[in-house]
Amino acid sequence: MQRQQVLFLVKFFGILVAAYLFIAWSPVNDRVIVPFTQVIAEGSGAVLRAIGEQVAVTGTIIRSSRFGVNVNNGCNGVEAMLILLASILAFPASMKARIAGLALGAIAVQLLNAVRIVSLYLLGVYQPRLFEIFHTAVWQIVIILAAIVFFLFWSTRVGSDRLATRG
């Protein structure tokens, strides 16, 4: 393995561990992550209401008389965003490219996560036997893979831009 690849992996895992520890710290979780998750739940509830579902949102809980979901840590897309953050910060790129990658990546992950939450609610209402497998396996994999694919796309573009400016 080349030195540059080893350096990337060391930076990636260092940033990832530090970021996880930071968001797990109670003041950050309580004052940043939980309110962020509430916004995600409100947005997903608004989408569900727009498609005709009679849901109410209280904090991180989206519920109706037929079903309810609680958007907890692990379901808010934050972990996928941390993987993206660690990947982009560990990659050799300009600050401008990193900021753009982080912004676009976070938006992409959260839009996909909204689809995830809405679909899980709908599965819970209309196909309850499928809810658990989609909740624990399918969507978890899809969200993480989306972050990885975004990083690969971004890093290829940024890497080729760097090579073009050197040449």
**Confidence bin at 14 (pLDDT 50/70/90):** very high
Sheet holding 68-70, edge to edge: 56-58, 61-63, 68-70
pLDDT over 70 at 160, yes or no: no
What are the residue boundaries of the structural domains of the chain, listed by start? 3-166
pLDDT over 80 at 67, yes or no: yes
pLDDT over 50 at 167, yes or no: no
Helix, strand, coil shares, percent, the chain, to 5: 80, 5, 15
Per residue in 109-124, pLDDT tens?
999 999 999 999 999 9
Determine the average pLDDT of the residues in 12-31: 96
pLDDT for res 165: 52
**Confidence bin at 159 (pLDDT 50/70/90):** confident
pLDDT over 60 at 166, yes or no: no
Percentage of the chain modeled with pLDDT above 70: 95
Sign of the Cα torsion 85, 90, 91, 94 reads positive
Q: Is 54 helix (H, G, I), strand (E, B) or coil?
A: coil
